[in-house]
Structure 1
Amino acid sequence: MSVHEIRAFNRFYTNLIGALDYGKHLYTPYTLTESRVLYELAHSPRTDAADLRAELSLDAGYLSRLLGKFERDELVERAPSEADPRRQRITLTPRGREAAALLDERSRRAVGTLLDGVPEPERKRLAEAMRTVREVLSDTRPDGVPEPVLRDPGPGDLGWIVQRHGALYAAEYGWNTEFEGLVAKIVADFAQGRDPSRERVWIAELDGRPVGSVMCVRDDAPYTARLRLLLVEPEAREHGLGDRLVRTAVDFARGAGYRDMVLWTNDVLHSARRIYQRAGFTLVAEKPHRSYGAELVGQDWRLPLREPPLQEGQTP
């Protein structure tokens, strides 16, 4: 393959997706670079300015000016990183998440329109060709394995969460459809009454297909978030994806102002429990029960996210 062929492909594809006129193409006020920064802030667990700069290969001064613009538009907030005060942590505001979600929706719609003109038998060939390009040219992972992407759910993804929970837990633990019904209720409650600024669900995608999920919702207790529906497909478990999903939900809960995060699980879910322990959760209660056609021990786990505010008369 010659340099000329690669450059010809780049010109063809750039014109095809309208990247040279990105704002007009997706009807947004953001440039391609600005949109990419919003995307990374919405989907990546690494939100320090230094991580953004490295991930997107941006000049430090340019990124600082871009983030300053976002801050003036009330799309992001900047603060010292909790892990390292020398680093600057960037967090999307509710308005910023709305902007990122709108960009994602319009981008998906644009790609869908592009695929409408591709016959069904050719779509598989197109996907395989694109995967080959990524694998050959990717240097993000030493073993050549693509990195899973965390994203908001699209059409059909909530149903996928229900179906895969039912199928996987039946295959791995022998649970009956009672469990699938519970997952369906959790998903339906989320879809019908969620608060976007304080509740989210993430889909992990690998090679264009969903391979995992996790959810953060409000708990009945004040200022408490609940972690739910953590799932990773067997073929994606070597990526450390479970840890990444939980960290992402915890970071979101902390940024949304929750003081604690809790979860309920069962003693037989050994791999999930190890993930929760690595994230800092501690076991606070256990109770035997019979559910899903099995004898189980339910467990409550808790993670403090921040210290409660001082009451009147208290001293630090």
Structure 2
Amino acid sequence: MTIDTVAAVRQFSRFYTNLIGVLRAGLRDSPFSLAEGRVLFELANAPATLDVADLRQRLDIDAGYLSRILGRFEADGLAVRERSDTDARRQRIRLLEAGRAAAADLGARSDTQVHDLLSTVSETDQRRLAGAMGTIESILGGAPAPRTVVLRPLGPGDLGWVVQRHGVLYAGEYGWDDTFEAMVARIVADYAESHDPRREHAWIAEVDDVPVGSIFCVRESAETAKLRLLFVDREARGLGVGSRLVDECVRFATRAGYREMVLFTHDVLADARRIYQRAGFVLDSEERKPAYGQDLVHQHWKRPLSTSTPLSTV
């Protein structure tokens, strides 16, 4: 651990506590302190009653401090403490109707505060922010956060991102030169200028709100669709992202009325080739010739589009 890291964490802590108003007398302009608000939240989201000792352990809060908070809740008619039916040495706490109303009001105030805070933040930056928060929680919480895979249509800026990521990924992993990135740029430009949304579509894959992959379905002929520009960033591999993208592309092509789907790839792309095989594609032809500064085996794959052919399972 470096001094810079410690300073950065402390700086962020000061920034965030000031941003959300932790040091103010009342949390969210309410009569509750931060600690009282958190206790109220836990009680409102617990079963009808909650063991006081369990509540203290869950919040890692001093027993005397918690007792004073619960005493205030009782005095204000928000909650009531009772002896446990199974162990007279233990207490249970439950919110009364007024307590649940107070918790609901505080929750609404919190939602409004966060909504106002993010009102000037773009959707892209909101996804980055949520992903960064998940990373912080995962690292400091000591447990891997659940990873959410979402497929969405293209949005502003995505076309340029697709070109850039393809160029970086294939240069880094396979040593392909800039003629490959130029080829991707032409495909993307053609799609942007003239695609038919009824029969052509493109998707971005996100993991924990961060873009990690893409795929395009374009028209090859009246009866044939072409799968193009499948890629998945290295850090997202093993999560089923590639198979999700290919399956969605095949489903769209089937619904659009195509009778066949084709794709073009290279033998060095072994991970992609396994995804295509699981999705029902078969090798149609191949040839060796130079491309992108490498000596490559070019492969053409195809599959019929029929509801009777199952998609891959992940």
TM-score (norm 2): 0.58
- Structure 1 residues 193 and 206, CA gap change in structure 2 (3 angstroms): same
Q: 1:231 to 1:16 in 2, by over 3 A?
A: same
8 Å contact kept, 2:138–2:145: no
CA distance in structure 2 between the aligned counterparts of 1:285 and 1:126, rounded to whole angstroms: 45
Change in 2 beyond 3 A, CA 1:10/1:182: farther
Spell out, residue by residue over 1:192-251, the C-alpha distance to the aligned partner (whole angstroms, 9 max, x if none). 0011111111001123321000110101x3311100000000000020111111001001
User: Is contact 2:204-2:214 (8 Å) kept?
Assistant: yes
Q: Note the C-alpha offset of 1:155.
A: 1.3
Deviation, 1:131, is 6.2
- Give structure 2 stretches of 5+ with no counterpart: 1-37, 43-102, 308-314
Rounded Cα–Cα distance in structure 2 between residues aligned with 1:182 and 1:236 = 24
Matched with 1:282 is: 282
In the other structure, the counterpart of 1:211 is 212
CA contact (8 A) 1:131 1:207 kept: no
Given the superposition, is the C-alpha separation of residues 154 and 113 from structure 1 closer, same or farther in structure 2, using an over 3 Å criterion?
A: farther
The 1-side partners of 2:138 and 2:108 are apart by 17
Question: 2:214 is matched by which residue type in structure 1?
Answer: S
* 1:163 aligned onto 2:134: no
Judging changes above 3 Å, is the alpha-carbon distance between structure 1 residues 132 and 171 closer, same or farther for their aligned structure 2 residues? Answer: closer
Separation (CA, whole Å) in 1 of partners of 2:270 and 2:208: 27
Letter in 1 for 2:158: D
2:179 & 2:104 partners in 1: Cα distance? 55
Distance in 2, Cα, partners of 1:236 & 1:204? 10
Q: Distance in 1 between matches of 2:205 and 2:117?
A: 19
Corresponding residue for 1:294?
294
Q: Runs in 1 of length 4+ with deviation above 2 angstroms?
A: 1-10, 12-18, 110-114, 122-136, 142-145
Q: Which residue of 1 aligns with 2:228?
A: 228
Looking at structure 2, the residues matched to 9 and 114 of structure 1 have their Cα atoms a distance apart, in angstroms, of 23
Shift of 1:4: 3.0
SS in 2 for 1:205: strand
Partners of 1:135 and 1:146 within 8 A in 2: no
Alpha-carbon displacement from aligned partner over 1:265-294 (angstroms, at most 9, x marks no partner): 011111100000000000011111111001
- For residues 192 and 13 of structure 1, the distance between their equivalents in structure 2, rounded to whole angstroms, comes to 44
CA separation in 1, counterparts of 2:194 and 2:117? 29
- Contact 1:135 1:145 survives alignment (8 Å): no
User: For residue 179 of structure 2, what is the aligned residue in structure 1?
Assistant: 178
- Report the Cα distance in structure 1 between the residues aligned to 2:117 and 2:217, rounded to whole angstroms: 29
- 1:11 lines up with 2:108 in the alignment: yes
Distance in 1 (alpha carbons) for counterparts of 2:127 and 2:287: 50
Residue pair 2:263, 2:301 contacting (<8 A) in 1 also:
yes
SS at match of 2:303: strand
2:31 maps to what in 1? none
User: For 2:138 and 2:295, how far apart are their aligned partners in 1?
Assistant: 46
CA distance, structure 2, for counterparts of residue 263 and residue 178 of structure 1: 19
Deviation at 1:156, TM superposition (A): 1.1
Shift of 1:145: 2.4
Normalised TM-score (structure 1): 0.58
Cα deviation for residue 126 of structure 1 reads 7.0
1:114 is aligned to 2:120: yes
Q: Percent identity?
A: 48
Change (3 A) 1:111 1:184: farther
CA deviation string 1:104-125 (max 9, x = no partner): xxxxxx9975327xxx9x9977
**1:96 aligns to what?**
none
Q: SS of 1:257's equivalent?
A: coil
Letter in 2 for 1:250: V
Aligned to 1:257: 257
Deviations 1:125-181 (A, max 9, x none): 776446667999xxxxx9632211111111111101101111110111110000000
What secondary structure does 2:121 align onto?
helix
Give the distance between the partners of 1:199 and 1:214, measured in 2 at CA: 11
Please, what is the CA RMSD of the aligned residues? 3.3
1:80-159 matches, cutoff 5 A: 113-115=119-121, 128-129=132-133, 144-159=145-160
**Cα distance in structure 1, aligned partners of 2:188 and 2:278:** 26
1:201 partner amino acid? A
Decide whether aligned partners of structure 1 residues 180 and 11 sit closer, same or farther in structure 2, where only a CA change above 3 A counts.
Answer: same
Letter in 2 for 1:296: L
